[in-house]
């Protein structure tokens, strides 16, 4: 066994800027990567050596080590899409037959490079672009693909006769259109390209949203597909990329901006990144994009940029506890400039130092006088709270400040399906059946598809209840007792909304005896919805 492990060892020639660091000890082995901590330092996606230390060269790692390193790098490089709340910015839908010569793959690579240059961030299969290379989409694979389609900002169908005949391409389009609207109607976010001419019969196989969308032609005068290695082909990719850039920027801009001040300590920087990820997952846009505007040290100082960011923000959070003078100056400016609430946050784990305490005393005295005299000052001192408590306070303040905060401004779906996490896939198929029977939008609690945070779940349900014109509770594999709790919460929040229960496998016959008034077939659901429409 030891011999076979030694035979599997490979040489990895380490470049000077790549190395792994761990505490002094015996030579690295595959087992240590599992049992011991080590750190990988990264800048712009690459590992780098600490100043003053020589990196290892010609190091020997086993295949197990290298595999673990690859997994680590993939996790490290994961990031949010450019459009907040989206999982991907671009979803490329194509027929596998069109990539037999590698044209679609080269298109994806060229488009990613162009988009990276246009927006200054990575666009590839792991960053912002979903591009599936698997031929069979069943079970868990299809769940991953359908989830990516629903959570992408833009759909790019690559049109050809093969595409129009593909059942999977049709399903991908349907899943994309069922996703949430991230600042624009979903049908306006379909950007097809045509690489092979299609006839009228092929046109009828396309969904109306794809058929009616403006197409970008990758065909020359002889109606042949452009070679992407040619200058003309690259020019077309660049022009198409600029169209996508403009659409992504418009979607990005429509997200409500929240100002996040800088964290000075290491834990403060980590906290800010965590807050950014959480707020972006809720559809907020984080400003400023560069923290250099917060610094008051030349040449990076940008007071005009700071004022512009604060003036644009609907709310501002400033982190205290180890903060510096620049961070405190930004908080002072925020109270006078930000159009929404300013929150000063002292984390539970980081008490104020003496300089911050003196500054806060002066700050509160000054602004209490302003509140009583010249003007109303909207700031909130959040002291010794957890991160989750701060987020709850922020969401409440933002919701309170919005016009029609009772929920009337939220886009309503025709029907909100309510189910347990274990029934998401069957409920999704059932929703598709409903849309085929009647013209109505059906929503599902997509927040159940990912990891469920018990601190966020109640708020997610409250947000979801605010959208439906009717509720249908899907009683499948989930325990009825758990669904009853959700049913009661929905009834308390919106008692006037029509609601009903639908009985789904398993044990439908048993459930029908227990709940004789519940619906159990699609025709009954259609009748229920027709009654709601009247």
Query: Quick check: is 83 in a domain?
Result: no
Instruction: Answer with the residue of higher pLDDT: 174 or 432.
Output: 174
Claim to verify: residue 354 and residue 422 sit in the same structural domain = no
Question: How far out from the chain centre does Cα 216 lie?
Answer: 27
Inside any domain, residue 407: no
* Cβ proximity of 378 and 340 under 8 Å: yes
Q: Is the dihedral of CA 435, 441, 442, 446 positive or negative?
A: positive
Q: What is the C-alpha R_g of the chain?
A: 27
The CA distance from 431 to 156, in Å, is 24
Average pLDDT over residues 268-281: 87
Quick check: helix, strand or coil at residue 435? helix
Residue 28: predicted pLDDT: 36
| Same domain membership, residue 105 and residue 71 | no
Domain assignment present for residue 517? The answer is yes
Residue recorded with tokens 């680590």: 72
Confidence (pTM): 0.58
Indicate the residue among 401, 433, 455 that finishes a domain: 401
Query: What is the pLDDT confidence band of residue 504, given thresholds at 50, 70 and 90?
Result: very high
**Which of 302, 318, 372, 309 lies closest to 338 in space, CA to CA?**
309
CATH number at residue 423: 3.40.50.10140
- Based on the fold, state whether residues 220 and 175 are members of the same structural domain: yes
343, part of any domain: yes
DSSP tag of 140: H
Residues 464, 513, single domain; the answer is yes
**In this structure, how many other beta carbons lie within 10 angstroms of the beta carbon of residue 140?**
9
Identify whether residues 241 and 146 lie together within a single domain.
Answer: yes
Domain contains 406: no
**pLDDT at site 104:** 95
With residue 475 as reference, give the H or E element that holds it.
Answer: strand 471-475
**Shared domain check, 231 and 105:** yes
What is the CA 499 to chain-centroid distance, rounded?
Answer: 30
Q: Among the three residues 253, 275, 295, which one is the final residue of a domain in this structure?
A: 253
Distance CA 172, CA 338 (A): 42
Residue 21: per-residue pLDDT: 36
Asked if the structure places residue 82 within a domain, the reply is no
* Segment 210-224, tens digit of pLDDT: 998 999 999 999 999
**pLDDT, tens only, 85-110:** 788 999 999 999 999 999 999 999 99
pLDDT digits over 401-450, tens only? 554 444 333 444 588 999 998 999 889 888 878 877 777 788 888 888 76
Residues 212 and 348 in one domain: no
User: Left if phi > 0, otherwise alpha if psi is -120 to 50, otherwise beta: which for 44?
Assistant: left
Write down the pLDDT at residue 301: 60
pLDDT of residue 297: 55
Q: Which domain holds residue 203?
A: 88-253
Residue 508 pLDDT exceeds 80: yes
Residue 505 lies in a domain: yes
Distance CA 172, CA 142 (A): 10
Residues with Cβ within 8 Å of 290's Cβ and at least 6 positions away in sequence, in order, are none
Q: What is the CATH number of the domain that holds 270?
A: 3.40.50.11200
The string of DSSP letters for 99-110 reads GTTSHHHHHHHH
Q: What is the number of structural domains in the chain?
A: 4
Q: Which residue is it, tokens 């690259």?
A: 234
Asked if residue 302 belongs to a domain, the reply is: yes
Same domain, 231 and 112: yes
Q: Is the pLDDT score of 364 beyond 80?
A: yes
Q: Mean of the per-residue pLDDT values for the chain? A: 78
Phi and psi at residue 72, to the nearest 5°: -60, -45
Q: Say if residue 378 is in the same domain as residue 448.
A: no
Last residue of a domain, one of 233, 253, 273: 253
Same structural domain for residues 429 and 387? no
Tell whether 153 and 66 lie within a shared domain: no
Same domain (yes/no): 392, 456: no
């Amino acid at each position: 066994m030891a011999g076979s492990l030694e035979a599997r060892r490979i040489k990895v020639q380490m470049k000077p800027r790549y190395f792994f660091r761990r505490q002094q000890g015996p030579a690295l082995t595959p087992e240590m990567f599992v049992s011991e901590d080590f750190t990988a330092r990264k800048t712009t996606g690459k590992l780098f050596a600490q100043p003053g230390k020589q990196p290892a060269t010609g190091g020997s790692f086993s295949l197990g080590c290298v595999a673990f390193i690859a997994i680590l790098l993939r996790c490290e490089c994961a990031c949010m899409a450019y459009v907040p709340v989206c999982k991907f910015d671009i979803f490329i839908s194509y027929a596998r037959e069109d990539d037999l010569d590698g044209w679609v793959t080269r298109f994806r690579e060229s488009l990613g490079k162009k988009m990276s240059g246009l927006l200054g961030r990575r666009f590839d299969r792991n960053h912002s672009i979903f591009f599936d290379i698997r031929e069979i989409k069943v079970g868990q694979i299809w769940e991953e693909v359908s989830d990516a389609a629903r959570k992408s900002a833009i759909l790019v169908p690559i049109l050809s006769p093969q595409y129009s005949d593909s059942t999977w391409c049709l399903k991908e389009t349907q899943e994309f259109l069922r996703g949430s609207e991230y600042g624009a109607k979903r049908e306006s976010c379909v950007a097809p390209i045509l690489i092979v001419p299609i006839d009228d019969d092929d046109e009828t196989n396309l969904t109306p949203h794809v058929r009616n969308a403006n197409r970008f032609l990758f065909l020359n005068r002889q109606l042949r597909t452009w070679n992407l290695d040619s200058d003309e082909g690259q020019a077309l990719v660049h022009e198409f990329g600029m169209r996508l850039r403009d659409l992504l920027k418009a979607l990005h801009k429509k997200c409500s901006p929240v100002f996040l001040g800088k964290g000075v300590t290491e834990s403060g920087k980590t906290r800010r990144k965590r807050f950014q990820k959480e707020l972006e997952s809720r559809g907020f846009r984080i400003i400023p994009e560069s923290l250099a505007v917060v610094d008051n040290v030349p040449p990076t100082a940008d007071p005009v940029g700071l004022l512009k960011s604060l003036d644009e923000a609907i709310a501002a959070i400033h982190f205290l506890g180890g903060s510096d003078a620049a961070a405190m100056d930004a908080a002072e400016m925020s109270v006078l400039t930000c159009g929404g609430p300013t929150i000063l946050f002292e984390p539970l784990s980081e008490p104020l130092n003496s300089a911050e305490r003196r500054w806060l005393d002066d700050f509160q005295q000054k602004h209490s006088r302003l509140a009583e005299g010249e003007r109303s000052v909207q700031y909130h001192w959040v002291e010794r709270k957890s991160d989750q408590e701060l987020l709850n306070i922020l969401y409440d303040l933002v919701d309170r400040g919005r016009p029609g905060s009772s929920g009337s401004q939220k886009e309503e779906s025709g029907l909100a399906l309510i189910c347990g996490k274990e029934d998401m896939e069957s409920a999704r198929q059932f929703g598709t059946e409903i849309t085929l029977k009647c013209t109505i939008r059906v929503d599902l609690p997509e927040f159940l598809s990912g990891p469920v945070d018990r601190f966020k779940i109640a708020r997610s349900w409250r947000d979801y209840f605010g959208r439906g014109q009717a509720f249908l509770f899907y009683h499948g594999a989930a325990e009825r007792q758990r669904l009853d709790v959700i049913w009661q919460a929905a009834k308390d929040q919106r008692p006037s909304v029509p609601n009903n229960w639908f009985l789904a496998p398993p044990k439908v016959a048993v459930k029908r005896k227990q709940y004789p008034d519940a619906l159990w077939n699609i025709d009954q659901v259609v009748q229920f919805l027709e009654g709601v429409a009247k």
